[in-house]
Amino acid sequence: MVFEHLAAFFIDKFLGNYIEDFDSHQLKIHLWAGDIILENVHLKTNALSDFNVPLEIITGYLEKLQIHIPWKHLYTHPTKIDFDGFYLLVAPKTDVNYDVERKE
């Protein structure tokens, strides 16, 4: 139970700007297998704003996000992140502000 709460805290901390209404019930953890699974995730409409792209999200949905951490081979094998069922509907922004200093 403690690990689930800790994982939920870190997921909310690092992905909270991008996913909407994160609920720990969306989270499945298989600790010894090294799998963390998020299901039925909705993206926030402002999730792209930090990336300064001229697009806005109308709707975004991710059926499954799976993170695999190879505990036994942490330094020799990669941590993998897999996406299944990624749907994204975007539209061009009508109010794009160009920042010369950020470009450089």
Which one is predicted more confidently, 85 or 93? 85
| C-alpha–C-alpha distance, residues 70 and 35, integer Å | 9
- For residues 54-83, give the mean pLDDT: 91
In this predicted structure, what is the pLDDT of residue 1? Answer: 60
In this predicted structure, what is the pLDDT of residue 11? Answer: 80
Q: Give how many domains the chain has, as a whole number.
A: 1
**Residue 51 clears pLDDT 90, i.e. is over it:** no
Q: Which domain holds residue 44?
A: 2-103
103 SS3 class:
helix
The tally of CA atoms less than 13 A away on the side-chain side of residue 96 is: 13
Output the six-digit token pair for 46: 């402002």
Alpha-helical regions (H) of 1-104: 2-15, 100-103
Q: Please, what is the average pLDDT of the chain?
A: 84
Which one is predicted more confidently, 73 or 26? 73
